[in-house]
A and B are shown apart, each in its own frame.
Chain A
Amino acid sequence: MWDYTEKVKDHFMKPRNVGEIEDPDGIGEVGSLACGDALRLTFKLDQNKRINDVKFKTFGCASAIASSSALTEIIKGMTLEEAEKVTNRDIAEYLGGLPEEKMHCSVMGREALQTAIANYRGQEIRKEEFEVVCKCFGVTDKEIERAIRENDLRTVEQVTYYTKAGGGCAQCHPKIEAIIEKVRGEMEKEVPPAKPERKKLTNIQKIKLIEETLGREIIPALKADGGDLELIDIDGNKVYVAMRGKCSFCPSSEFTLKQYVETKLREFVSEDIQVEEVRP
């Protein structure tokens, strides 16, 4: 049995905004009977161009129905520019998460929304412009690329969970692998491994933070092995400590200091911390 959240169950048992709007401003239809799930989304705008009414009809499993219901609740009252930015993640998060195998249900919601917005603007999303990678479920390279980017996917299995691509005959698996490699390559170039920005600390803040980190992260771990550590002094980025207990005569204490204490302090306090041991 699937481990659905209470919110998924609630939106499945009591789906919001079921139906079809007569004469809608935008209509989006995705999926098919053959694929096992399908969603028809219709919306109407008010005079301020905000989504005034939105309704869905869904054929599919509990998470497909819950995702559709969640989507309508999320976008009600939004402008189309705002609605456009809604991702499948937003839908999944609204529901308190979906089993990974079911993430394609949230992707279906996002796709229906995109299609409905394009329909309102008189643009047609034409699948022919893209390559259909998965023939079993009719999934294009564009859809796969987008899912990889938005959800940080790494494996073919994940791509199947999120887009259904590759979930049938499996013949497209090498192609999906190639797309993953290509997109991940691009993603790495786009986002340089940014160092998490740290606020500059005053001396007092730094000393306090070092003491806290020693007390919370480092000393308990040393004590677990029968050792201990005492803070002797702090001078700029240099932290002077003395080893106590077992650590004081442990031949690997220098290793412990350098590798462990320094790493922890650098992680929690500042990249520039240097640890020095004061020997008695």
Chain B
Amino acid sequence: MKTVYVDNNATTKVAPEVLEAMLPYFSELYGNPSSMHFFGGQVQKKVNEAREKVADFLGADPSEIVFTSCGTESDNAAILGTLDSYPEKRQLITTRVEHPAVGNVCSYLNRKGYRITELSVDREGRLDLDELRESITEETALITIMYANNETGVIFPIEEIGEIVKEKGIPFHTDAVQAAGKIPLNMKKSKIDMLSISGHKLHAPKGIGVLYVRKGTRLSPFMIGGHQEKGRRGGTENVPYIVGLGKACELAKEHLGEENTRVKALRDYLEEKILEKIPNTLVNGDRINRLPNTLSISFEYVEGESILLLLSDLGICASSGSACTSGSLEPSHVLRAMGVPFTAAHGSIRFSLSIYNTKEEMDYIIEHLPPIIQKLRDISPFWKDYLKAQEKI
């Protein structure tokens, strides 16, 4: 069966160039970068090169790059490490639509006695910066706001937020796991203090992440151990994955143009055709400030898991913000925060593309999706009710 993979916000294919770059570090080049001998030294050099590539990709200085095990670790390290450095401050500002790697850390801190201010979003998933201004107090230890939303792709005005936050001198962290590789990031021109990225969202493997930490940022180490990463993250370096991430960042920088032209055009084509062919369908989130690869779209009166399984049966891999896919009983917190009506929230599907997708694949989805939705609407008791109600009008 043909596989059409359009779930790249969940994870991506490891680029063949990345895998190739990694392989020697599993076998012949197995030295420890901290060793004094040449055998470790040659590996140290490669780790440094990877650090430079990541720094170049982010517009940062290599000394500002801390390798971690994943995006979640980067988020945890930034939040918990900052609070540890400012023990007297007891408030955190975040949003209602964060990834659980931030959201659940905030809930945990709330139970520990921290005051958590969660900024709301409007129907398009946008923040109100006045609400942010009003939320800042003397007590605010950290502001952590995601760069772009994983479910809807909505991009927050991170640099504007940075300006507001810097006026008050508060540390500012952003989870850029979904933004990296899809929109340009330049720390030199930014007010961001800390930024998280994850390897497997940009064609590196799972198990490697980065926390960018601006020079002069107060941050206690999260993983306490050896001197690695300048004492900011103990533990022997995950050399093959660091080398892989370096390569992936180099490629991501090269492909950024393509992401924002060809991939964006594919996404727009998919969106346009679905809206044209399937009635009672709506796009979730701000269509202007949106990642070029992401489409969150809701089909009224049907449920997301059913759509996904019928798509999956045809080899199409997507994801959903519906309750049933996660094992929770309520639809995604992001769609609920946006106030997406229940008629649509349960039937949301996310298509997220990558540079490996083709127009033929989009056509395959466009061909097979309408009958799937129709089949489920024919089973749904609400669709006929809706049609009857329409007839009366």
Question: A: which residues have CB within 8 A of B?
Answer: 2, 12-13, 15, 18, 20, 29, 33-34, 36-40, 57-65, 101-102, 104, 136-137, 160, 164, 167-168
Contact = CB atoms under 8 A, between A and B. Distances in A.
A34 B382 CA distance: 12
Contact of A33 (B309, B343, B384): B343
A60 B330 contact: no
Contact of A36 (B310, B324, B378, B380): B324
A65 B379 contact: yes
A59 B378 CA distance: 10
A61 B303 contact: yes
B288 interface: no
Nearest to A32: B342
A156 to B, nearest CB: 13
B48 interface: no
B22 interface: no
A39 B381 contact: yes
A70 to B, nearest CB: 14
Given A12-B309, A61-B306, A62-B306, A36 B322 contact: yes
Interface string B11-24: 00000000000000
B329 A36 contact: yes
Interface of B is mostly: helix
Interface string B373-393: 000001111101000000000
Contacts of B329: 36, 104, 137, 160, 164, 167-168
B349 interface: no
B305 interface: yes
B330 A59 contact: no
B305 A61 contact: yes
Interface in B290-323: 301-306, 309-310, 313, 322-323
Contacts of A164: 329
Contact of A167 (B302, B328, B378): B328
B331 interface: yes
Contacts of B323: 36
B327 interface: yes
26 contacts: A13-B313, A15-B379, A33-B343, A33-B346, A36-B324, A36-B329, A36-B331, A36-B346, A37-B303, A57-B379, A57-B380, A59-B302, A59-B379, A60-B303, A60-B324, A61-B304, A61-B306, A61-B322, A61-B324, A63-B324, A64-B303, A137-B329, A160-B329, A167-B328, A167-B330, A168-B330
Given A61-B324, A137-B329, A36 B381 contact: no
A97 B125 CA distance: 39
Nearest to B327: A101
A57 B381 contact: yes
Contact of A38 (B309, B310, B328, B381): B381
B315 to A, nearest CB: 14
B379 A18 contact: yes
B217 to A, nearest CB: 36
B316 to A, nearest CB: 14
A23 to B, nearest CB: 16
Interface centre among A15, A29, A36, A57 (most CB of B within 10 A): A36
B301 A59 contact: yes
Contacts, number: 78
Contacts of A37: 303, 324
Nearest to B342: A34
A18 B325 CA distance: 23
B306 A12 contact: yes
Interface residues of B, number: 27
A13 B314 CA distance: 12
Nearest to A18: B379
Contacts of B325: 61
Interface centre among A40, A60, A62, A104 (most CB of B within 10 A): A60
Contact of B306 (A65, A137, A160): A65
A105 to B, nearest CB: 9
B142 to A, nearest CB: 27
A38 B324 contact: no
Contacts of B305: 2, 61-62
Contacts of B378: 18
Pairs A-B, 8 closest by C-beta atoms: A167-B329, A61-B324, A57-B381, A61-B305, A40-B381, A59-B380, A34-B342, A36-B323
Contacts of A63: 324
Interface in B24-68: none
Contacts of B324: 36-37, 60-64, 102
Interface string B319-352: 0001111011111000000000011001000000
A161 B93 CA distance: 33
Contacts of A65: 306, 379
A117 B330 CA distance: 30
Nearest to A136: B330
Contacts of B310: 13
Contacts of B330: 36, 136, 167-168
Contacts of A64: 303, 324
Contacts of A168: 329-330
B349 to A, nearest CB: 13
Contacts of A102: 324
A187 B346 CA distance: 37
Contacts of B384: 20, 57
Contacts of B322: 36, 61
Interface centre among A2, A18, A57 (most CB of B within 10 A): A57
A163 to B, nearest CB: 10
Nearest to B309: A62
Interface string B73-110: 00000000000000000000000000000000000000
